[in-house]
A and B are shown apart, each in its own frame.
Chain A
């Protein structure tokens, strides 16, 4: 039953943090998170099978040295890469795969795309801020969410709206 509860939670919300302060609560939370990471990396359920982590590595690697865009872009740092990995692992299992890009200020971007006027772009800053902007036909949504290990609800909702048929 515990496993079933955990799996359904992972599918809906992504990572789960604990409010418990005891050693046991912390242990269970850490183990659950480790299991979720394995699932997210897996071929069948996670983004790993969709090649997202490989793409992230490839993009970050090609932007390690400044001026990678020919216009003086800042390099992508190891911190930004690590945060992007954490954010991807915090997403619910089975979620649509984003594509990876980079911006001139050295931030990595994750994009969920249906068409040029129906998409969501999330930038990952070295400070752990998630700057997002979505165009959904005539509607716009944009803002910033702090990333503390859980995928923010606002961003999950926008991913679902981009993907909705």
Chain B
């Protein structure tokens, strides 16, 4: 770990970003659908980026890199989410730095059954804020 690396412990006061590359994950009224907060199988870890120590520009650059990794993808925006709202759903946020994104983290601790995951994803979507690119 270097002086510029984010701390491994994720605090309740932090903000998380989930980049939105699919236009079906937000509504015309600027709210977010639950679909984008569903954890992918088989490990059920939802990939997010911690805001901590990042400028808005740096945050968007990470999002753009996610989009650039896929042909013809568009970065539509991001969903900003408070760690405290994630923990309220009895989920946990684990720092999971990647070489290309030291602020990468996973939202883990999801229940195994899909309906229970959906109701949590609805709660997360309701508490998140969509920021258009």
Beta-carbon contact of A123 and B114 below 8 Å: yes
Among A67, A104, A143, the most chain B Cβ lie within 10 Å of the Cβ of: A104
The minimal Cβ–Cβ distance linking B82 to chain A, given in whole angstroms, is 15
Task: Kindly state the separation between the CA atoms of A102 and B35 in the bound complex, as whole angstroms.
Answer: 6
Task: Kindly state the separation between the CA atoms of A142 and B122 in the bound complex, as whole angstroms.
Answer: 11
The minimal Cβ–Cβ distance linking A60 to chain B, given in whole angstroms, is 10
List, in ascending order, chain A residues with CB within 8 A of B73's CB.
70
Determine whether B126 belongs to the interface, using a CB cutoff of 8 Å to chain A.
Answer: yes
Task: Kindly state the separation between the CA atoms of A99 and B28 in the bound complex, as whole angstroms.
Answer: 11
A-B CB proximity, top 10 nearest = A133-B118, A104-B40, A116-B126, A142-B115, A70-B21, A133-B119, A101-B35, A101-B24, A131-B114, A142-B119
Q: Residues of A with Cβ closer than 8 Å to B?
A: 59, 62-63, 67-74, 99-105, 109, 111, 113, 116-117, 119, 121, 123, 125, 131-133, 135, 140, 142-144
Determine whether B105 belongs to the interface, using a CB cutoff of 8 Å to chain A.
Answer: no
Determine whether B110 belongs to the interface, using a CB cutoff of 8 Å to chain A.
Answer: no
From known contacts A70-B69, A133-B122, A135-B126, infer whether A104 and B27 are also in contact, taking CB-CB under 8 Å.
no
Determine whether B116 belongs to the interface, using a CB cutoff of 8 Å to chain A.
Answer: yes
List, in ascending order, chain B residues with CB within 8 A of A68's CB.
22, 70
Using a Cβ–Cβ cut-off of 8 Å, how many residues does chain B contribute to the interface with A? 33
For B126, give the chain A residue with the smallest CB separation.
A116
Within 8 A of A (CB), among B71-128: 73, 113-116, 118-119, 121-123, 125-126
Beta-carbon contact of A105 and B38 below 8 Å: yes
What number of A-B contacts does a CB cutoff of 8 Å give?
A: 87
Given A70-B73, A101-B24, 7 more pairs with CB closer than 8 A: A70-B21, A101-B35, A104-B39, A121-B35, A121-B118, A133-B121, A140-B119
List, in ascending order, chain A residues with CB within 8 A of B115's CB.
131-133, 142-144
Determine whether B15 belongs to the interface, using a CB cutoff of 8 Å to chain A.
Answer: no
The minimal Cβ–Cβ distance linking A105 to chain B, given in whole angstroms, is 5
Beta-carbon contact of A105 and B41 below 8 Å: yes
Beta-carbon contact of A133 and B34 below 8 Å: yes
Task: Kindly state the separation between the CA atoms of A106 and B116 in the bound complex, as whole angstroms.
Answer: 18
List, in ascending order, chain A residues with CB within 8 A of B114's CB.
123, 125, 131, 144
Determine whether B10 belongs to the interface, using a CB cutoff of 8 Å to chain A.
Answer: no
From known contacts A67-B70, A140-B119, infer whether A72 and B34 are also in contact, taking CB-CB under 8 Å.
no
The minimal Cβ–Cβ distance linking A162 to chain B, given in whole angstroms, is 12
Beta-carbon contact of B118 and A70 below 8 Å: no
Beta-carbon contact of A70 and B24 below 8 Å: no
Task: Kindly state the separation between the CA atoms of A113 and B125 in the bound complex, as whole angstroms.
Answer: 13
Beta-carbon contact of A109 and B116 below 8 Å: no
**A-B residue pairs in contact (CB < 8 Å), sample of 13:** A68-B22, A70-B69, A71-B66, A103-B38, A109-B35, A111-B33, A121-B34, A121-B35, A132-B115, A133-B122, A135-B119, A142-B115, A144-B115
